[in-house]
Every structure is written in structure tokens, then in C-alpha cells.
Amino acid sequence: MDAKLACMTLPYAAYPFERALEGIARAGYRYVAFGTPHMNEPAAVPEDEASVERVRGLLSRFGLEPVMLLAHAQMHHTEPVEGALQQLRLAQALGIPEVNALGFWGYRRFPDEPLTAEEYASNSRDFLSFFAQVAEEAERLGIVVTLKPHTGNTATAGLLRGTVEAIGSTNVRACYDPGNVSYYEGLDPLADFDQVAPLLASFIAKDHAGGQRNYAFPVPGEGDMPFAAMFRRMAEAGFRGPIVVEKLDGDGKPLTPDELDRRVALARTNLERLLAQAGEA
């Protein structure tokens, strides 16, 4: 499978954006994903050309190609749609082909108060209306928007597929996150994976260990997620998108930049090994 291994800057959120790019590049990645704040500040602001130009310069300096812009906060159906459209325009300005978003949250209060059936239905209607507008602009700009599992209407492969198909745009596709399926739902992420594999534009290589709601997110390849088996199925479905490292903080305790560097480098090594295993099977 000719996939692109990428790393998010998210693990370095407590440090400057520039330091994140430095660590990711030094770990041997050619591709990067970003969009969440660093030290509570966004890397780029859509209406601020100077900030956009700064990001362009940093990407060029570190030899990194952006493959995904995270817009989880802006692409939420309870927020003004203009914020979501601005993220699409930012992606176009930076040459980023994909903007990643989430489904709606499935709980009143996690983990013991899920939405009622009526609340779920209301959220679903509003979500589809919101993403109809997002999809129209994505089609105009030639950007792909992806949705990834995060409870609610993207909680499992089957629900994710149903939501993508309900939006009904070739520019809205799926991004699978097995770690979230395992952590939030307590499900084997491979069990219904074939339902969504043909719709994947990207894949989040988030590992998880210990079962439902156990906060343990080791370096990819060090936990329970069946990555090699998933990569084989993705290859069979013709996947050519990015495989993205997102989370590797283990129990969630703060990590130094040097330790983050070590872990993102190990993640790349592990994923390359697992991709090779998938190709050999």
C-alpha cells in the first residue's frame, strides 16, 4: 500500500508550533497534519495573511507537506457555518487537500448520560443541514472533508458510513480512528471495518490498550489495535491516503519535547514495520 505516513502537531500542543514541526521532521516524516492550537494560539488565522505566510515558510523550512487540517472546533453544527467555510479556504490557501472534522458528541454527560433518542435525532438533522453547506463549499474549492469516529453519529464504522452517505457528497468522506472506537465504544475496531474501508480518505493510527474507557494510548504499534490487519483491508479497498499519528501520550501525563520526539520517531518505525507486514500477508 502506497500510503503517506504523517504526524499531527497535536502531541506538541503545549509547545510552539515551530518546535512541533522541528520534531516531526527530525523523526523522519515527510507529511504533517495540524490545526489545533499550540500554547492556546492557532498556527494560522484564515483572515490573517501574515500568519498564513508564516506557516507556509515553516513548512518549507522543515521540508514538510501538509496533508490534513484539523477543524474540529470550527466544523461543529452548533457553531456558525462561516467558521467552517473559513477553514476550507485556509486549507486551500495552504495547499492542504483534506480538512478533518468530527461527528456530533453522543452524550449529555460522558460517560453515563447518553443523548436521548429525540436529542440524537435533532442533532442528526442539524448536523446534516450544517454539512450540506460545508460540502457545497468543499466541492467548489476542491477540498475533501473527512469525518472520524468520536461517539454520536460517527461512533462506529457502520454509523460513520451512514453519516457520510447521508451527506451525499463526493467531497465528504471517512477517516477511521480505531483507538476512539476501542476507547469510547469498547468494540473491536476490525469487526465492522469493511463497511467503511471503501470510503476512507485517511486513517488515524491511534493505538489503545485495556478496553473501554481505559485511558491508555501508547505509541502506535505498542497497544492492542490490529493495525496490520486493517492495513491489509485498506490496501484491498484501494486506499492511498495519509496514515496519521495523533496520540501517543500513554496515560496522559505531560511529556517533554525530547520524549515526544522519541515517541513520534518510534511511531514511524512501528508503522513502517506494520505496513510491511500487511504487504507480506
Whether the CB-CB separation of 188 and 150 falls below 8 Å is answered with no
Pull the grid cell for residue 61.
523550512
User: How many whole angstroms separate alpha carbon 40 and alpha carbon 150?
Assistant: 22
In this structure, how many other beta carbons lie within 10 angstroms of the beta carbon of residue 244? 30
Q: Which residues contact 274 (CB under 8 A, 6 or more apart)?
A: 221, 227, 228, 231
Between the CA of residue 272 and those of 55, 122, 236, 275, what are the distances in Å?
Answer: 28, 43, 18, 5
Domain extent, residue 36, equals 4-280
Q: Can you point out the beta strands (E) in the chain?
A: 4-8, 31-34, 65-70, 98-102, 107-109, 113-114, 144-148, 172-176, 200-204, 242-245
What average pLDDT is seen over the chain?
A: 97
15, 24 Cβ separation under 8 angstroms: no
CATH code for the domain in which residue 99 is found:
3.20.20.150
Distance (Å) of CA 243 to CA 16, 71, 182, 260: 24, 18, 18, 18
Pairing type for strands 242-245 and 200-204 reads: parallel
Per DSSP, what are the bridge partners of residue 101?
Answer: 147
> How many domains, in total, are found in the chain?
1
* 251 touches 209 (CB < 8 A): no
Torsion of CA 188, 196, 139, 168, to 10 degrees: -110
List pLDDT tens digits, range 197-214: 999 999 999 999 999 999
pLDDT at residue 6, as a whole number = 98
The whole-number pLDDT of residue 3 equals: 83
CA gyration radius for the chain?
18
At residue 31, the pLDDT reads: 98
Q: Which residues contact 9 (CB under 8 A, 6 or more apart)?
A: 17, 20, 21, 24, 32, 33, 34, 36, 38, 43
How many angstroms separate the Cα of 54 from the Cα of each of 59, 61, 233? 9, 10, 39
Tens of each residue's pLDDT in the chain, 281 residues? 778 999 999 999 999 999 999 999 999 999 999 999 999 999 999 999 999 999 999 999 999 999 999 999 999 999 999 999 999 999 999 999 999 999 999 999 999 999 999 999 999 999 999 999 999 999 999 999 999 999 999 999 999 999 999 999 999 999 999 999 999 999 999 999 999 999 999 999 999 999 999 999 999 999 999 999 999 999 999 999 999 999 999 999 999 999 999 999 999 999 999 999 998 65
Cα–Cα dist 163/243, whole Å: 22
